[in-house]
Amino acid sequence: MPPPPIGYNAGMGQFSLKRLFIAVTLIAIGIARIVVRPTSDLGSLMWPLGGAAVGAGALSLYRRPIIGAVAGAIIGMILQVLIAGSLIVDAPAH
């Protein structure tokens, strides 16, 4: 039987216990960064960083955490702009 082609297992999940714990931890940290409302001026970084952690955790089982982190950060930035923009526009005047 010939050896499998290069990159054969690239799309297969590596569901070891260690990778599963890492994925769950990253996703939990990311959700906490998104849900908990920060009180400091660095709060604007929470959504992109939270999205990056969730994306890295989701794709860490497939050995692609960097792609997940970049995609999660981009989605977090887009959501932040959409939500923050709607909050600014809909804010009552004082």
| pLDDT beyond 70 at 70 | yes
Q: Higher model confidence: residue 20 or residue 11? A: 20
| pLDDT beyond 60 at 64 | yes
The pLDDT assigned to 55 comes to 93
Annotated domain spans of the chain:
44-88
Q: What is the mean pLDDT of the chain?
A: 78
The pLDDT assigned to 52 comes to 92
The pLDDT assigned to 12 comes to 61
Q: Higher model confidence: residue 16 or residue 89? A: 16
Half-sphere exposure of 49 (CA within 13 A, CB side): 11
Q: Higher model confidence: residue 9 or residue 15? A: 15
